[in-house]
Structure 1
Amino acid sequence: MGGLQTIMGQTGFGIPGAPDFRETADETINFDEAVEFANEESESIFTRWKTLTSILERYEDTIRKRWGKKTREQRKKLLLQSWPDIILYHRPDLRHYRRKTAVGESDQKTQTAYRWPHINLEDLSDSTNLLLFLNSRGRHAPAVFAPMDCDSISLGISTGAIPQEFPDTFSHMNLESVLLEEYGRLMACPVTSGVSDNAAEGLMVLKTQHATMGFLVDICERILHDKKTDDESLKLVPVLPEPPILSSREGEWVYATDLTRESPYLVPHKLDLRRVQSLIQARLTEWEDYAWAMREDPSFMAEVVGDWSEHSSERVMTRARKEHPDLVNPLRKKNFWDRTIASTINEPYENLTEFIDGQYEQPQNVPGLTTSITRIKFLLEVRLIEKVQRELGFIFPSSPPVRALFMTEGQGGLQLRSDLNKDDQLLWLVGELMNKESEVPKDIIATELNNLVHTDKSQKARITPMVARFIGDISLGYELRSQLRLLCPLLYRQDDQNNPYEKILEVENPSLIELLRPLYDLKMIVSPAHAGSKFLKLGDLGNPAMFYYPVDKRRTQDNVEAMQTAERNLDALWAKYDGHLRTHLSAETNDVLQAIIPDRGELQRTPDWVEPQKVAQKPKTDVPVQPATFTDDNNSKDLPFSPPPPKTKVKTRGPAPLEDDGHDDAHPTAANEAPPPPPPRLFPVKKRTAQVFSTLFHTPTPTTQPGEIAWTDFVSALSAIGFQPEKLYGSVWRFALKDRATFGVDNAINFHEPHPQGKLPFRAARRYGRRLGRMYGLGGGSFVLEG
């Protein structure tokens, strides 16, 4: 389909890039002058650091209490007094990169924005960030923050907004020692010595830290306006224990956006290999369940195909406001569905290959570690990050909320309409993510994109579930990349020609490329752009109209027969696809690809309709009837292929009782299949939580029909039985176990928050229940009401 082409080029969505900031040329300075300056700055930094440490050791709790009692306006006033040129808004360097210098702002403001992007009123005037900043910088030596401070000015350096001063002698600065006598010391060294010439960056780090420490000392003195903070007075005050760790997060739920907003004010995080393994494993398991559901659940297959259809570049009109001929010409419409089904089916194969090959295994020696990290680095940067960014380049502009802002140009290229105002933060961020020539680090863009969608409700409404999923995968890729840089930083010093790790990467490249050989072979027989006469056309079998699956309706003979028909149609599609692979692939490649699809037991299929026996009417109870509404995951009611529901009036009922056995109407086709393992224990739950689980593990009957689940109720329910919820990126939530003993495993599981409605439809809830059952043995019988 059109989206498989490279449509973004080098300039994002046609949005003009940032202007060239290189108005002030970098300078060369005398080496002796550089040494004198570095010594003075280092001494001043340590003097201010010691003062800040002494203040916090005696008054940190007092500072916290006083800061917490102040209003936001009072905090802003104090911040302005301590730093008169402080910037007003979050990430000022990005804003200045877009606009160079805002109207009415001086060059000094621009310098401040790039040198100290995290010292701004928006972030520091809240209740905790300044307190976190004081605690981290006052309780840890300046050397701990040198890499972080160097990264914080990277955009200013790369754009030339901050001119650098280069000593006229090849030199190295010590930014690792915690001792005053050594930290920031500059020494000349031969070019052939093997050490890096980091003097220019080192001098800028010292400038950054000098002003930062001065600001933090000054704000403490203003908060403690009635206390004496000179060295002699502080010696007379007893040292107190360090107060408990602060956090801006409330309750048990953790949000990645909160963590990223806090991170510039914290001690740099250390490598967490367990988290790396958990992130990869949870995403791999999610893709395995995704691939299995495409083969088992007709309604899910219809939703996925519908998503790819609605996010196809063919949906975007031409400059002349004409639709794509494959959408309006009945004779050509099958071509559109053939390409759409190909994209739908190829995605899980690609992602499973990447995550299976990218699993991290603890090596036994250093060469093994290098090989393992090199493999993951290759898959992250050559496949996962690059592929997802490229695909987002046509999925986002083709999505229903924003496609009217774009037009097709040339051979499938997408551009913003020329008559629109291009000053749009969401469009700029996504376009900058696509722009290969952008000087903004992509991880910063991904972080800010997540932050914008999380905090701005008006922007959140412009992000579809599919776009949110791709944003989540990009952000996951950059987090994994960040963790790998901590584990093996030399592997990322690509500008160093003598880097032994880069030589290893060059040697490993041929074998690394072979990891992707099965995907290459698959592309040559299923991709419309590469397969030629071998291209498999599945438009007739894969059209969503073939998969009408009324699983969310009460059981009737008509509904059961409709579900069985959809299941047969889905089986026929996959039988044709698997047969195509057997015919055109080598036996070895086919075996690899078939092994990628996980084994989840037998496909569950709907049994034949059995007329229910009439039973005596039970007396009425006082249990209130709760109405339920159903919303398709991708709003398919608005799509032209969505079949009409049966014209039968269905009465709404409340949630199913907890006496369910945890199985729905679909039973394994194999009669001798072993029953699922029993749940590890019974969970006493409150009534509201019980209603959530009775929907997740609902047993359909002719008289009951389940409803939706509020997402907050779903998260609370999992938290109540031992999961730790964490909002990652995009729509992804990660649920890790608080205690491994709860289920006997320690694997985390990912679920996607419904977007934008905030309600989990029964179709999705049913799949989520199955996933919980497969991984943790949960079922309807796993819960009992408290008391």
Structure 2
Amino acid sequence: MADKIRQELFVSWSRLKAIVLAHEDTIQKRWKKRTALKRKQVLLEIDPKLPHEHASEISSVIKDEASARQEKRNDFLLPYVNLEDLSINNGTQFLGLLHARALRFPSEFAWFDSNTLGFGVAAGGVERYHGFSCAMVAFGDETTYGRVLEYSERLDESDKDSPDGAMMEFILQESMTFGNGLTVLETQAKLTALLLGVVTTILRDVDLTNLTPAAPLPAPEIPILNTTFQWQSSARLNALRPYSPPPVFNIDDIGILMNSQYEFAVQHLADLRTDPIYLAENLQAYYEHRIETLHGKAPQSLVQGRTVSLMLTDAYAFLAYYHVAKKIIHDFRIVQANFPNGPLRARELTKEYEDALKKLHPILGLLEERVSKAHHQTMCSSPALRSDGSLLRIKNYVLTFTPIGIIIRSTDAAFRQHGFTFASRPDDKLYTFLTFLLQEDETHLWQVGRIFDQLDRLTQDPAAHRRISPLIASILSQWGVINDCKSILASHRPAVNATELLPAGVEQRLQKWKPLIGPVILRIDPDPALAARAFPISNFTYPKGLRDSTWAAKCEDVDAVFAAFWKAADRFLIKRCGNELFALGTQVVGPFIVAPTSWSSLVAPKVPVRTMPKAASLVPFGGAEQGPEVKEEPSAPKAKPKTRGVAAITVESKGNEQATETSLPLHRPQYRLGYTKCSQPYSRQQKTRKSHYNKVL
């Protein structure tokens, strides 16, 4: 059965490649000239059963009974092949799919297609054959790809070092299980037949018997539309991946993503330490997303202490994790330089190479663990998300998942008597997909990319868009980056498997950086004295009003409160993060520290009153009737120096006896690279995230 399908696949693919090499320019022009309706008509002419909407397999799982899913098997086999996705965007996505699948051998897409099948298999939409003690080769050309190996059979019997079927499947991951491999061949055969049918329909008037290949065209560029939330870049990149070349391992792609997050971590910490308004914004966001705020009887000192502790620890933890990730990538590049052509396929990796790359597993695991825990809290207590009244209160004490919903319960002795649950709401799709990220089993089933894709589409509705708070959007953004890095790492062949659990992996592989990352992994009680310095957050707001000596004194008071907070915070951070991480934070923030603002120098000077000369003195020979004296008061110059926060300036005009209020610009040092005023935490990240993804593309 496998040999029959693979031979049919190879014949169809060879035919498709020859046509595309000879006539791709004509195909592209004719396809783009068609309207979306006519493109759909061509697709339906080839396959009348094509799904009409994007991600139709999602609807099959949410709405249909399990017994009915087998009838929609093709929806699960090829979820990205539907009328909506292949006809929109001026047809570019279809052309990208055609270019990639026609000019690259099917084995290059084997693991991508296998991973795509995972959801359908787990959801019951795809049933597979089972072959005992055998595997299917997932790489190579027509002589090897799709070949069935028994576990005891070597890939090359003439080579005693050649791996056998068991090693190919379980260690090197150069083979798939027989059931998965056979289904992948079936999927690729169906897709190739569809593409071949479409191009022959487009070229009905062209002689396709004698084909002369031309130079291949560049891959069509599929634009990523503008996004409001930075995490949507990750969502849309994942949604477009089926229409592009297959994902491959590239350490530079991981490096770009980690560098971007490291830069954000540095900028975030620098803003916290130099901008009172930015500090107040983040304190407010973290406070609103504390679970304890859902109950009016929570002690304020407890909530405020946890707010400050978590905000500071997050800032330093992410700085540490991304710093270590950058170092690991740098060290791996040194080892990788010894393998200019890459490691050999179907061979064990050298220990040096494998150990250097395996260090990425625990650091990405730590990042994902921290982001996941942050999402548990922010999603469950987000004021924006629960603005529709979905919160119910109960008396429980731990975090559990139940058929009726998600129960949040505090385990802290100081706040143990209160607990909350979000009721299950099948009609609320946004809520449903956000809760999938709270449950490891559901996240594994649906996959992060698929969940992000659904969230992206749902938040196109303004009402749903408003329910994603900036803090949740920031967490989703980091989750998207981490998931992308893990996907790139997982595409390495031969495979680099993480055999240890996360604590063991951290202990075994990150010993070199333990002084840097070790302290932030541990729990420490918040400092009540520090919370007293942070609240009320109105203390960090510069005053509005007339720019006089009183105004300057109030601005100086804000600076004094800000300095006192960080003096207390430094004592807490040294204890919480350790000397090495605290020193790293001091080092990266140092270039952004500016001299304190001299507020008294910004006080508007008193404007002298000038008396105009008598009219008669303006006439050379006099004789004009003398009028009353005219007094004129020139307006004071408007000074707008950069300062460390937002302060209101009032320029007084005695001519009309009215005060006009204007605001000092929010200080943003030169490192901000053109970012605008941040009215919400992390919102400045939105303008640069897309550029990093464009580099990856």
Q: Does 1:734 align with 2:689?
A: yes
**Cα distance in structure 2, aligned partners of 1:398 and 1:145:** 41
Please, which runs of 5 or more residues in structure 2 have no aligned partner?
A: 154-162, 170-175, 336-349, 400-405, 408-419, 610-635, 652-659, 667-671, 677-681
SS of 2:384's partner is: coil
Secondary structure class of the residue paired with 2:689: strand
Cα distance between partner residues in 2 of 1:608 and 1:707:
12
Q: Distance in 2 between matches of 1:736 and 1:357?
A: 23
Distance 1:418 1:285 in 2: 36
What is residue 4 of structure 1 aligned with on the other side? none
Counterpart of 1:75 in structure 2 is 39
Higher normalized helix content (fraction of residues): 2
CA deviation vs aligned residue, 1:613-667 (integer Å, no higher than 9, x gap): 46799xxxxxxxxxxxxxxxxxxxxxxxxxxxxxxxxxxx99x99xx9xx61359
Counterpart-to-counterpart distance in 2, 1:212 and 1:350: 45
Q: Deviations over 1:515-572 (max 9, x none)?
A: 45666646767435xxxxxx44423211143534338888544443222212211221
For 2:478 and 2:192, how far apart are their aligned partners in 1? 37
State the SS of the aligned residue for 2:139: coil
> What letter matches 1:152 in structure 2?
T
CA contact (8 A) 2:430 2:455 kept: no
Distance 1:255 1:356 in 2: 23
Contact 1:563 1:606 in 2 (8 A): no
Give the direction of change, closer, same or farther, for the CA distance of 1:189–1:297 in structure 2 (3 Å limit): closer
Matched, 1:221 2:200: yes
3-state SS of the aligned residue for 2:18? helix
CA separation in 2, counterparts of 1:407 and 1:514? Answer: 46
**1:522-537 maps to which residues of 2 (within 5 A)?**
526-528=524-526, 535-537=527-529
Specify the structure having the higher radius of gyration (Cα).
2
- In the alignment, is the contact (CA less than 8 A) between 1:547 and 1:567 conserved in 2? no
Deviation, 1:475, is 0.5
Is 1:593 aligned with 2:582?
yes
Aligned-residue offset at 1:458: 3.5
Corresponding letter in the other structure for 1:509: E
Provide the rounded CA distance (Å) in 2 between the counterparts of 1:43 and 1:554. Answer: 83
Rounded Cα–Cα distance in structure 2 between residues aligned with 1:517 and 1:735: 34
Q: Which residue of 2 aligns with 1:172?
A: 135
Residues 735 and 214 of structure 1, relative CA distance in 2, 3 Å threshold: closer
The aligned residue for residue 669 of structure 2 is none
Q: Does 1:563 align with 2:535?
A: no
Give the corresponding residue for 1:260: 238
CA distance in 1, matches of 2:260, 2:545: 32
CA offsets, 1:670-711, max 9 Å, x none? xxxxxxxxxxxxxxxxxxxxxxxxx9xx998969946999xx
Q: Is contact 2:27-2:203 (8 Å) kept? A: yes
Structure 1 CA distance for aligned equivalents of residues 688 and 355 of structure 2 = 31
Deviation, structure 1 residue 60 = 2.1
Q: Distance in 2 between matches of 1:173 and 1:523?
A: 42
Q: Which residue of 1 aligns with 2:209?
A: 235
2:21 aligns to what?
A: 57
For residues 485-539 of structure 1, the C-alpha deviation after alignment (integer angstroms, 9 at most, x for no partner) is 2346522375xxxxxxx699968734537845666646767435xxxxxx44423
* Match of residue 325 from structure 1: 297
1:273 is aligned, of 227, 251, 264, to: 251
CA distance in 2, matches of 1:356, 1:299: 26
The structural deviation recorded for 1:405 is 1.6
CA distance in structure 2 between the aligned counterparts of 1:42 and 1:542, rounded to whole angstroms = 66
CA contact (8 A) 1:374 1:505 kept: no
CA contact (8 A) 1:452 1:459 kept: no
Residue 203 of structure 1 deviates from its aligned partner by 0.8
Q: Find the aligned partners of 1:333 and 1:571 in 2 and give their Cα distance.
A: 23
Mapped partners of 1:736, 1:61: distance in 2: 29
Match of 2:267 in 1: 289
Alignment deviations for residues 731-781 of structure 1 (CA, whole Å, 9 cap, x no partner): 46337699xxxxxxxxx9xxxxxxxxxxxxxxxxxxxxxxxxxxxxxxxxx
Contact 1:557/1:609 (8 A) holds in 2: yes
Amino acid at match of 1:463: I
Cα distance, 1:509–1:110 mapped onto 2, change above 3 Å? farther
Q: Structure 1 residues 487 and 558, CA, compared in 2 at 3 Å: closer, same or farther?
A: farther
For residues 101-500 of structure 1, what are the structure 2 equivalents within 5 Å? 101=65, 107=69, 109-126=71-88, 127-168=91-132, 170-179=133-142, 181-190=143-152, 193=164, 194-196=167-169, 198-227=177-206, 233-236=207-210, 238-249=212-223, 255-316=233-294, 323-326=295-298, 332-359=299-326, 360-363=329-332, 364-365=334-335, 367-381=351-365, 383-403=366-386, 404-409=389-394, 410-411=396-397, 413=399, 415=407, 421-438=425-442, 439-449=444-454, 451-452=456-457, 455-487=460-492, 490-492=495-497
Shift of 1:115: 1.2
* Shift in Å, 1:93: 2.9
- CA contact under 8 A between 1:175 and 1:183: conserved in structure 2? yes
Distance of 2:51 and 2:4 partners within structure 1: 27
Hey, what's the Cα distance between the residues in 2 that align with 1:557 and 1:250? 52
Retained in 1: the 8 A contact 2:358–2:498? no
Structure-2 change in CA distance of 1:735 and 1:547 (3 Å)? farther
- What is the letter of the counterpart of residue 80 of structure 1? L
| Residue 283 (structure 1) shift | 1.6
CA contact (8 A) 2:368 2:482 kept: yes
Alignment correspondent of 1:45: 9
Distance 1:559 1:504 in 2: 54
2:416 matched residue in structure 1: none
Paired letter, 1:283: Q
Asked if residue 512 in structure 1 is aligned to residue 510 in structure 2, the reply is yes
Partner Cα separation in structure 1 for residue 523 and residue 9 of structure 2:
63
Q: Is the 8 A contact 1:114 1:162 kept in 2?
A: yes
SS of 1:270's equivalent in the other structure is coil
State the Cα distance separating 1:275 from its structure 2 match: 3.3
Distance change >3 Å, CA 701–CA 88, structure 1 → 2: same
In the alignment, is the contact (CA less than 8 A) between 1:114 and 1:156 conserved in 2?
A: yes
Distance change in 2, residues 1:99/1:38 (3 Å): same
Q: Kindly tell me: are residues 512 and 248 of structure 1, through their superposed partners in 2, closer, same or farther at Cα, counting changes over 3 Å?
A: closer
Percent of residue pairs bearing the same amino acid type: 19
Q: Give the letter for the 1:345 counterpart.
A: L
Q: Is the 8 A contact 1:311 1:400 kept in 2?
A: yes
Matching residue's letter, 1:733: T
Range 125-134 or range 419-428, more displaced: 419-428
Residue 349 of structure 1 aligns to a residue in which SS? helix
Residue 447 of structure 1 and its aligned partner are, at CA, apart by 3.3
Q: Is the 8 A contact 1:560 1:606 kept in 2?
A: no
Letter in 2 for 1:175: A
So what's the TM-score if we normalise by structure 1?
0.66
Q: Which deviates further from its counterpart, 432-441 or 203-212? A: 432-441
When residues 264 and 493 of structure 1 are mapped into structure 2, their CA distance, relative to the original with a 3 A threshold, is: farther
Contact persistence 1:305–1:344 (CA under 8 A): yes
Asked whether the 8 Å contact 2:675–2:687 carries over to 1, the reply is no
Q: Map 1:611-690 to 2 at 5 A.
A: 611-613=603-605, 664-666=642-644
- How far, CA to CA, are the matches of 2:323 and 2:77 in structure 1? 41
Q: Secondary structure at the match of 1:280?
A: helix
- Mean Cα deviation higher: 728-737 or 299-308: 728-737
| Contact 2:138 2:181 (C-alpha < 8 Å) held by counterparts | yes
- Quick one: distance in 1 between partners of 2:454 and 2:540? 36
SS in 1 for 2:146: coil
SS of the aligned residue for 1:605 comes to: coil
